[in-house]
Amino acid sequence: MPAAEQLDMELMTPLMEEAGGEEEEEDVDIDEDPEHLPQGITFTQTLLHLLKGNIGTGLLGLPLAVKNAGIVLGPVSLVLMGVVCVHCMHILVSCSHQLSERLKRSPLGYSDTVAVAMEMSSSQCLRKGAHFGRHLVNFFLVLTQLGFCSVYFVFLAENIKQVMEGAHLNSSVETVLIHSNISQGETPSVSAAAGLDLRLYMVFLLPFIIVLTFIRDLRNMAALSAIANLCMAVSIILIFTYILNDVSDPRRLPYISSWRKFSFFFGTAIFAFEGIGVVLPLENQMREPKRFPQALNIGMGFIIILYVSLATLGYLHFRDDIKGSITLNLPHDSWSNQLVKVLYSFGVFVSYAVQFFVPAEILVPPVCERIRKSWRRAADLSLRALLVCLTCMTAVLIPRLDLVISLVGAVSSSALALVFPPLVELVAYPSQPPPPLLLLKDLSIAVLGFIGFLTGTYVTLEEIIYPDDQGPSP
């Protein structure tokens, strides 16, 4: 199998190897025979990687998603969507196993699974389109990952802007209290320096992120990634601590929203379930692959509970004032709230490089192969910088976090998470035609994903072109 075809299977390998290093060293002391050394990652490490692959900026946008769906319909739909996404992950793993065993090949990645399923189809049209199927999956992988990176730009700019303005406002208040030069009830204004346009923060971030993406080996990111995960975990705990202090009566909130707002919910929710791209790499690297379905159920079960809890409690606390990220609702008057924004922003900053690794490894090598060896390194770095600038430009053009998340979720995440897996199961089913119930189930999921793609993309683009006055201002 060519190296390019194995790409989506091996994306997480360097970080997994680093995470499993210490445990495997302990096993070496017990049994020094290389033939008996355990290979791959453990059950616990698999769970941790599942959590890392699904907890990101999408989690913080779920309270707004519940607002767009309704306090009753939102949590219920979030659970149902989570169950369907997990089922699609199981479908992908099962199809990959069946096809690799049928062909006596090494474990398959996402794009390989789609291509091989089409190659083995009884339909001549599908067999001819197998190469296109592989490129289509890689296209959506690139689109999704670059979309995540654009979301990270907006998220970082929004949170850093709030931290800077909050620090300036707090220092102004302290100065006023010391000198007592302002009458009671008068609020100090934020200076022009502290009130910089959001897009300028994105431009300021650009050179730092470009330098970060010049790290081409994920093994060098392992330590930073571990620190980033710890920072994000602490931030989530602090967020729960804050929102649990005041929970409003759910009966005062709308139970169900309009279809237009629900389309925004779909895009944000499917964006949050962003881990389908790491499912096959994790299963293929696991020490006991037969236990992966159990790990997937436990890990994603915890993810769904976390999603529904934060989304519901966040909406109940901030109600109609909820923003594209719950961190943006935290007031500036507490050091813990500012710490949440700083820690989570650091985690997202490091995650940018990890997410960027996917499109860079798909797009950069084919271009560099056509260039003289003496120019390849310069071309590699230039292309990486160009891709980062592309994600920054997208963020500058759409500087609203809620809209970027909804658009990325509707356009690309829906295809990878809901449309491709059930269609692959139908194509790869050993006996054709597949049973009626299986056909009905898979087509229903695929149609659901396609409808979500159409409606979510339409309403998001409409909001971008003709912004609602109620939307958050950049």
DSSP class per residue in 314-339: HHHHHGGG--SSGGGGS-SS-HHHHH
Phi, psi of 295 (to 5 degrees): -65, -40
Task: Evaluate the omega torsion of the peptide bond into residue 366 and state whether it is cis, within 30 degrees of 0.
Answer: no
The band of 109, judged by pLDDT with boundaries at 50, 70 and 90, is confident
pLDDT of residue 397: 93
The band of 1, judged by pLDDT with boundaries at 50, 70 and 90, is very low
Count how many Cα atoms sit within 13 Å of the Cα of residue 269 in the half-sphere of its side chain: 34
Q: Residue 20 above 80 pLDDT?
A: no
Q: Residue 349 above 90 pLDDT?
A: yes
Q: Residue 192 above 70 pLDDT?
A: no
User: Hey, is 389 helix, strand or coil?
Assistant: helix
pLDDT of residue 430: 75
- The terminus-to-terminus CA distance of the chain in angstroms comes to 47
pLDDT of residue 471: 44
Q: Residue 79 above 70 pLDDT?
A: yes
Residues 400-455: pLDDT tens digits? 999 999 999 999 889 999 999 999 999 988 777 888 999 999 999 999 999 999 99
Closest CA to 93 of 287, 273, 270, 296: 296
Q: Does domain 43-170+197-465 have CATH number 2.130.10.10?
A: no
pLDDT of residue 178: 54
Q: Residue 224 above 80 pLDDT?
A: yes
Residues 268-290: pLDDT tens digits? 999 998 778 788 888 888 888 88
pLDDT of residue 86: 94
**Averaged pLDDT, 222-237:** 89
pLDDT of residue 372: 86
pLDDT of residue 312: 95
pLDDT of residue 307: 96
Structural contact between residues 57 and 324, judged by C-beta atoms closer than 8 angstroms: no
- Beta-carbon contacts of residue 187 (< 8 Å; ≥ 6 apart): none
**Averaged pLDDT, 348-356:** 89
pLDDT of residue 273: 86
pLDDT of residue 53: 80
Q: Residue 32 above 50 pLDDT?
A: no
User: Hey, is 190 helix, strand or coil?
Assistant: coil
Closest CA to 135 of 108, 112, 119, 106: 112
pLDDT of residue 390: 96
Instruction: Look over the chain and give the mean of its residue pLDDT values, rounded to a whole number.
Output: 84
- Beta-carbon contacts of residue 192 (< 8 Å; ≥ 6 apart): none
pLDDT of residue 290: 87
Q: Residue 262 above 70 pLDDT?
A: yes
CA 11 to chain centre: 15
**Signed CA dihedral, 399, 400, 403, 408: sign only:** positive
Q: Residue 26 above 50 pLDDT?
A: no
pLDDT of residue 51: 84
Residues 320-335: pLDDT tens digits? 999 999 999 999 888 8
Domain boundaries, the chain: 43-170+197-465
